[in-house]
């Protein structure tokens, strides 16, 4: 169907005879099934009177990335939408393979998991809710600063540099050429005379409490709970596996304990906010477990923090 210089296509069925459908109940057009619409019988060259109606519709935001779909997207960011959604058909696998072979990916199999983990846990640019990624205020601010500083770390530039690295692997470009080009990009960024708005300070919500030495936040590390002010020289730390000798009497029996005991995140919070906590320890023989109260061990040098047992009050009488 044409109207002036525009061409329009109508899709539907034009029944020739009703057949058995004449006995079917009439369907409500608004609640009809997915069958194609019924079109009137047209003839070629027929002139039609057309009334145009504007149909208002609300666009849908694209679905949020999940843990699986983001990984698939990073493998081939320029692949079709179906590939990004996680369709593992044979055609999509071929498309992914060709894209990876050219280096049209972000990161690599060895680095992608680490990149995502750092973005979520270390930098706090993303957070995961119900298996879906959400950009945090800190992440949005980071993107804003990239714009202000004219630093292009977005999709196309990431893929471009990844393809450069791939070309080195394939032997089509030398390592020195890639280093020189990267250095040129960095010089351009550093040499800019750009003014930006003052950077917002984002406090991490993973703080366990305040450092008793310098007042900075105490964070959860891999083997310890450390002070965020360590770069300024603060040496406050609570080791997750702490060591302390105990010797006390329970039920008329001397209990000795000289093994390390675990300090959980809840223990660390309690120590930082209340000065004491309760931990579970084992008898030296390993046959029994007992709960005892522990507190910070005084240390005037501020080089480390030990933990010692809280002396039990003697019962009167």
Q: In tens digits, what is the pLDDT along the chain, a chain of 317 residues?
A: 666 777 878 788 888 887 887 787 766 655 455 667 888 888 888 887 878 788 888 888 889 999 888 888 888 787 654 434 444 444 456 655 565 566 778 888 888 888 898 888 888 899 999 899 999 888 988 888 888 888 888 888 888 888 888 888 888 889 999 899 889 988 988 888 887 776 666 655 678 888 888 888 888 888 888 888 888 888 888 888 876 555 666 677 766 656 667 888 888 888 888 888 777 666 555 566 667 677 776 554 544 455 665 655 555 54
pLDDT at res. 259: 61
What is the rounded (10 degree) CA torsion for 143, 144, 150, 152?
10
Distance linking the first and last C-alpha atoms of the chain: 105
Q: Which residues contact 229 (CB under 8 A, 6 or more apart)?
A: 211, 214, 215, 216, 236
Instruction: Give which of 1, 93, 71 is closest to 39, Cα–Cα.
Output: 1
pLDDT at res. 42: 80
Quickly count: other Cβ atoms within 10 Å of residue 304's Cβ.
13
pLDDT at res. 65: 92
Edge-to-edge strand ranges of the sheet holding 237-239: 209-210, 217-220, 224-227, 237-239
Sign of the C-alpha dihedral, residues 119, 121, 122, 126?
positive
Quickly count: other Cβ atoms within 10 Å of residue 161's Cβ.
17
> Phi/psi of residue 163, each to 5°?
-70, -35
pLDDT at res. 152: 83
CA distance 164 to 150: 21
Q: Which residues contact 156 (CB under 8 A, 6 or more apart)?
A: none
> Phi/psi of residue 285, each to 5°?
-75, -15
Quickly count: other Cβ atoms within 10 Å of residue 309's Cβ.
18
User: 261-262 and 253-257: which strand pairing?
Assistant: unpaired
Q: Cβ distance 294 to 279 under 8 Å?
A: yes
Query: Under CATH, domain 67-190 is a member of which superfamily?
Result: Topoisomerase I, domain 2 (1.10.460.10)
Domain ranges of the chain: 67-190, 209-309
Q: Which residues contact 256 (CB under 8 A, 6 or more apart)?
A: 245, 246, 247, 283, 284
pLDDT at res. 146: 87
């Amino acid at each position: 169907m044409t109207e002036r210089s525009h061409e329009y296509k109508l899709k539907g069925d034009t029944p020739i005879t009703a057949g058995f459908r004449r006995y079917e109940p009439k369907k409500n057009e608004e609640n009809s099934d997915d069958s194609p619409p019924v079109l009137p019988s047209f003839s070629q060259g027929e002139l039609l009177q057309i009334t145009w109606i504007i149909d208002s519709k609300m666009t849908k935001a694209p679905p949020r990335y999940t843990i699986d779909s983001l990984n698939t997207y990073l493998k081939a960011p320029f692949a079709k939408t179906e590939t990004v959604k996680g369709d593992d058909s044979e055609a999509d696998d071929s498309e992914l393979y060709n894209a990876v072979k050219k280096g049209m990916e972000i990161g690599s199999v060895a680095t992608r998991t680490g990149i995502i983990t750092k973005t979520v846990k270390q930098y706090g640019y993303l957070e995961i809710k119900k298996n879906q990624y959400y950009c945090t205020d800190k992440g949005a601010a980071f993107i804003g600063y990239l714009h202000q500083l004219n630093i292009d770390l977005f999709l196309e530039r990431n893929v471009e540099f990844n393809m450069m690295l791939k070309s080195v692997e394939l032997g089509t470009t030398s390592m020195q050429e890639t280093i020189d080009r990267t250095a040129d990009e960095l010089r351009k960024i550093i040499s800019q005379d750009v003014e930006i708005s003052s950077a917002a300070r984002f406090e991490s919500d993973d703080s366990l409490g305040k450092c008793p030495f310098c007042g900075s936040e105490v964070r959860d590390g891999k083997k310890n709970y450390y002070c965020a002010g360590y770069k300024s020289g603060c040496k406050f730390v609570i080791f997750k596996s702490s060591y302390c000798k105990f010797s006390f009497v329970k039920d008329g029996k001397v209990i000795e304990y000289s093994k390390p005991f675990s300090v959980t995140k809840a223990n660390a919070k309690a120590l930082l906010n209340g000065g004491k906590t309760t931990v579970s320890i084992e008898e030296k023989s390993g046959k029994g477990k007992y709960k005892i109260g522990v507190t910070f061990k005084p240390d005037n040098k501020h080089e480390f923090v030990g933990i010692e047992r809280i002396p039990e009050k003697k019962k009167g009488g």
